[in-house]
Amino acid sequence: MEIVGGEFIYAIQADTARGGFQLCPADACAIDPATGKPIMPPGATIEPVAGQQLFSLRRDFDHPIIGKYVEFARRNNIEVCGIEFMETAEGRVLTYDVNTNTNYNAVVEAEAPRSAPRALAKYLAAVAAGPAPSFV
């Protein structure tokens, strides 16, 4: 889940059946710079197929956890973050990582109703232009 300046931007989904524990959505995480081919992540059980993404936009994500994560970020003065979580078969949400430097995925960005890098740029411009935004 991506949060910028106290606002939920979007959530993504990782295909862990194909990707194993490859949970970095950044484009650079998935490509071998020497060969330009997808890298087989540790724990992956199915070979990645060129052109198929491990990450996708989680469309219409509306879950009570959004408000809890936004509040967590606010309480801890975290202005930009990616929060990683998984959901059990029973629907329990397990949070396992908070990244205060986040990576964006070009395929997800192309589908997202709102761009996280653009939101980040606007937020940083507002911070640079004057007093700290009311989020902090």
Q: Would you state the pLDDT for residue 67?
A: 97
CATH number of 2-129: 3.30.470
pLDDT in tens, 23-73: 555 554 555 657 766 665 555 555 555 556 677 899 999 999 999 999 999
Q: Would you state the pLDDT for residue 30?
A: 58
One DSSP character per residue, 17-69 reads HHHTT----SGGGSB-TTT-SBP--TT--S---TT--SEEE-TT---THHHHH
Q: Residue ranges of the domains in the chain?
A: 2-129
